A and B are shown apart, each in its own frame.
Chain A
Amino acid sequence: MRVPVVTGAGSAASAALPRERASVSRLTRMLESEKLLAAALLTPGVLVLVLFIAYPFVMAIWFSLTSIRVGDPGEFIGLANFTKAWNDDIFQHAFKNTVFYTFWATIFKFALGMWLALLLNRHFRFKRIIRASMLLPFIIPTVLSAFAWRWMFDPTFSVMNWLLFHTGLITDRLPFLSDGDWAMWCAVLVNTWRGMPFFAITLLAGLQTISPDLHEAAALDGAGAWHRFWHVTWPLLMPVTLVVVVFSVIQTFSDFQLIYVLTGGGPANSTHLIATYAYQVGVASGLLGEGAALSLFMFPVLFAVVWFQLRYMKRMEGH
């Protein structure tokens, strides 16, 4: 689609005045140098990333060291924001929640995603449409689907309570989102629901690269289904698994929207994640410095994960 536009511009340039033609040819000559062309091609992307990632990151660090708030530039206060956060009960709770949420959601996503991938790897009718519809939770905006879940967990009108009540499993309603511990498990459930398809589809792609010959050879040697999975499939899936897990951990650890919609951090600040708490302090209360410090607490964990990922990639390239 873009191609005709460019050729059009080229022919327009060649039909233009001789002087313009000379400058165009100088430009094309310059672009023949690999270095200059590379610089020209990389500039737009790098510019956007520097302006809207590197620069705000530096500013986040600066903010976190000052007492800046909305309408007040504040002054340098060293690490006071960090020590304040460290001693803040809500933050400690939010940090624990974030670790809990990331840990359990990743485990469930991986286990269920692997199971689903193994199921989808078989031959069955309507395979394409089932596989496509399985990805829906991952495609649909999280905020919108989280609302559907919130409605399903509604204290008065919950369909889950209805179902459990009428099947005789409960006699009174369950406090899905009105109790902090319950609400965290609900958040894990919704996050699992949303992220499982990504695991499943990626692991499925990994499964499809494994030659069936390997399985048949193992079966001939008398290996049962479980042994074949453990000794053939699992090791071969390891590289893909690591990549998906890393991506998922980063996404889950820094999650915001799901909790924002499902509980808003409540009841009584018991379900905050680092990101939702940073939002509450930094945006809702306008304490920019404190908010920036809170969100920077995510950085060491994310950095460790990224470092691990990069080292792993280097090692793979070495082989």
Chain B
Amino acid sequence: MLIERKWKKWVVFYLPMALFIVFTLFPFYWMAVTAIRPDPELYRTWRQASATPFWTLHPTLEHFKGLMQTTAFPHWLWNTMLIALVSTVISLICGMFAGYALARLKFRGSEFLGTAIFVTYLVPQTLLFIPLADIIRDMHLGNTPWALMLTYPTFLIPFCTWLLMGYFKTIPKELEECARIDGATRFGAMVRIIFPVAIPGILSAGIFAFTLSWNEFIYALIFMSSAELKTVPVGVVSELIRGDIFFWGQLMAGALLGSVPVALVYSFFVEYYVTGLTGSVKG
């Protein structure tokens, strides 16, 4: 293609790219350094000559130990995992069914329903949290994992439905028709023919749903009150700041550990994630 001189490539490509990498990743590096830095070194002001902010010569695991032993962090991790998994499965099932119905079945009001589901995707949690807290209390779900397992699907189902609807539309109709001629029921053809073919789409919807539930904050903050029932983001906010004192070492250790599972899930499926992200936008 177009030929560039070497110095020009440095200016228009390497330098900006390096700046982007530093900007994007520095906070994570900072999290990691803080998490292994011993307290006396942590609380040394930036004016002190001896401060070595970018590394530490005395790495320690005391913050991780403190986090595991003095707080309910293992519980939070487990709760977040369980809630994210259950709400992802619920949303995937609902999304697969609804997506299939909207993509393949002819019925009155299908266009209206499709639009309505899309619109709910655009209703933010912060618009609904006050009455929803009341509804959750009336249903006696407050302070139980079900409060979150049932409300997270509200923002997961719409995009699962849309993403999968788009995916199902790309699968040739003939595939199903063959199965139907061989005597499969509509439902059977959907479950046994269409769903297996759509696994890449289902996976990307699932990963996206999982990371979104792992990220959710405001519902978890309001619906859960017992320390050992909290999710990681809420636990870190409410239990690692006592009064006005921030336990920065433990906070950063918690932030790091709380990010690892979702980063792992993501790193295994980056490609699906990216196609899902962009697919959902195009669909």
Interface string of B11-43 (1 = CB under 8 A from A): 001001100110111011011001000000011
Segment at the interface with A among B56-64, B65-73, B107-115, B171-179:
B107-115
How extensive is the interface on chain A, given as a class?
A: 35 or more
Asked whether any CB of chain A lies closer than 8 Å to the CB of B226, the reply is no
On whether the beta carbons of A42 and B113 are closer than 8 Å, the reply is yes
Asked whether any CB of chain B lies closer than 8 Å to the CB of A137, the reply is yes
Asked whether any CB of chain A lies closer than 8 Å to the CB of B281, the reply is yes
Asked whether any CB of chain B lies closer than 8 Å to the CB of A219, the reply is yes
Instruction: Point out the residues of chain A lying under 8 angstroms from B233, CB to CB.
Output: 141-144, 257
Known: A48-B157, A256-B217. A165 touches B46 (CB 8 A): yes
Known: A3-B191, A145-B27, A148-B31. A278 touches B107 (CB 8 A): no
What is the CB-to-nearest-CB distance from A3 to chain B, in angstroms, rounded to a whole number?
6
- Bound together, the chains give a CA A278 to CA B106 distance in angstroms of 43
Name which residue of chain B comes closest to A216, CB basis. Answer: B1
On whether the beta carbons of B154 and A49 are closer than 8 Å, the reply is yes
On whether the beta carbons of A254 and B107 are closer than 8 Å, the reply is no
Instruction: Point out the residues of chain B lying under 8 angstroms from A62, CB to CB.
Output: 131
Instruction: Point out the residues of chain B lying under 8 angstroms from A124, CB to CB.
Output: 13, 17
On whether the beta carbons of B122 and A143 are closer than 8 Å, the reply is no
On whether the beta carbons of A41 and B192 are closer than 8 Å, the reply is no
What is the CB-to-nearest-CB distance from A66 to chain B, in angstroms, rounded to a whole number?
11
Asked whether any CB of chain B lies closer than 8 Å to the CB of A22, the reply is no
- Bound together, the chains give a CA A148 to CA B258 distance in angstroms of 13
On whether the beta carbons of B263 and A140 are closer than 8 Å, the reply is yes
Known: A38-B101, A52-B150, A148-B31. A122 touches B218 (CB 8 A): no
Segment at the interface with B among A85-93, A99-107, A178-186, A298-306:
A298-306
Instruction: Point out the residues of chain B lying under 8 angstroms from A44, CB to CB.
Output: 93-94, 97-98
Instruction: Point out the residues of chain B lying under 8 angstroms from A143, CB to CB.
Output: 217, 233-234, 236-237
- Bound together, the chains give a CA A253 to CA B237 distance in angstroms of 22
Max chain B Cβ within 10 angstroms of own Cβ: one of A139, A282, A299: A139
On whether the beta carbons of A53 and B123 are closer than 8 Å, the reply is yes
Asked whether any CB of chain B lies closer than 8 Å to the CB of A110, the reply is no
Interface string of A29-60 (1 = CB under 8 A from B): 00110110111011011101100111111011
On whether the beta carbons of B222 and A283 are closer than 8 Å, the reply is yes
On whether the beta carbons of A34 and B134 are closer than 8 Å, the reply is no
Q: A interface, by DSSP: helix, strand, loop or mixed?
A: helix
On whether the beta carbons of B130 and A63 are closer than 8 Å, the reply is yes
Instruction: Point out the residues of chain A lying under 8 angstroms from B158, CB to CB.
Output: 49
Asked whether any CB of chain B lies closer than 8 Å to the CB of A161, the reply is yes
Interface string of A251-285 (1 = CB under 8 A from B): 10111110011000000000000110011001100
* Interface residues in B241-283 (C-beta closer than 8 Å to A): 246, 248, 251-252, 254-255, 258-259, 262-263, 266-267, 270, 273-274, 277-278, 281-282
Instruction: Point out the residues of chain B lying under 8 angstroms from A134, CB to CB.
Output: 20-21, 24
Asked whether any CB of chain B lies closer than 8 Å to the CB of A205, the reply is yes
Instruction: Point out the residues of chain B lying under 8 angstroms from A149, CB to CB.
Output: 27
Instruction: Point out the residues of chain A lying under 8 angstroms from B255, CB to CB.
Output: 144-145, 147-148
Instruction: Point out the residues of chain B lying under 8 angstroms from A302, CB to CB.
Output: 122-124, 127
Asked whether any CB of chain A lies closer than 8 Å to the CB of B186, the reply is yes
Known: A44-B93, A142-B215. A148 touches B30 (CB 8 A): yes
Known: A298-B126, A302-B122. A132 touches B270 (CB 8 A): yes
Interface string of A197-236 (1 = CB under 8 A from B): 1100110011000001001100100000000000000000
Asked whether any CB of chain A lies closer than 8 Å to the CB of B95, the reply is yes
- Bound together, the chains give a CA A3 to CA B199 distance in angstroms of 11
Instruction: Point out the residues of chain A lying under 8 angstroms from B218, CB to CB.
Output: 256-257, 275, 279
Asked whether any CB of chain B lies closer than 8 Å to the CB of A173, the reply is yes
Asked whether any CB of chain B lies closer than 8 Å to the CB of A79, the reply is no
What is the CB-to-nearest-CB distance from B159 to chain A, in angstroms, rounded to a whole number?
10
CB-defined A-B contacts under 8 Å, sample of 27 = A3-B191, A3-B192, A3-B196, A37-B101, A37-B186, A41-B98, A48-B154, A52-B154, A53-B120, A56-B135, A57-B131, A62-B131, A132-B270, A134-B21, A143-B234, A144-B232, A144-B254, A144-B255, A151-B34, A151-B252, A162-B53, A163-B53, A201-B278, A216-B1, A243-B282, A260-B217, A310-B118
